[in-house]
Amino acid sequence: MSQGTKVVTTIVLVVAFFFVAILLQTGTQVSMTFVALLALGLFLGIRTMWKKDDSDQGPDKPDEIVLDKKRNG
């Protein structure tokens, strides 16, 4: 997923969360605990989306730097 897609998705999810939370609070009088659980789910979902995948690390991009202590010549 590209960086721009992640930004747009994050903005849409946050706006949709506020819209749904306001509708739930005014229309159905749900508890704040339920809204907090929805917020926690939103946070964990966005965090998972932005987390760097291990598949991004290919053989050309190793995790650690290996110093070559051999000198040529």
Question: Whose structure tokens read 């605990």?
Answer: 33
Do 24 and 33 contact (CB within 8 A), yes or no?
Answer: no
For the chain, the straight-line distance linking the first and the last C-alpha, in angstroms and rounded, comes to 45
Q: Is residue 73 part of a domain?
A: no
Nearest CA among 61, 14, 62 for reference residue 38: 14
37 found inside a domain: yes
Token representation of residue 7: 């930004």
- Structure-model confidence comparison of residues 24 and 53, the more confident one: 24
Q: For residue 17, is it within any domain? A: yes
In a domain, 9, yes or no: yes
Q: Which residue type sits at 10?
A: T
For the chain, what is the domain count?
Answer: 1
pLDDT at 9 over 90: yes
Q: What is the pLDDT of residue 44?
A: 94
Tell me if the pTM is above 0.85.
no
Segments forming the whole domain that contains residue 27: 3-56
Q: Which residues, 6+ apart, have CB-to-CB distance to 42 below 8 Å?
A: 13, 14, 17
Domain-embedded: residue 14: yes
How much is the average pLDDT of 35-57?
Answer: 84
The pLDDT of residue 41 is above 70:
yes
In a domain, 65, yes or no: no
Q: Is residue 35 part of a domain?
A: yes
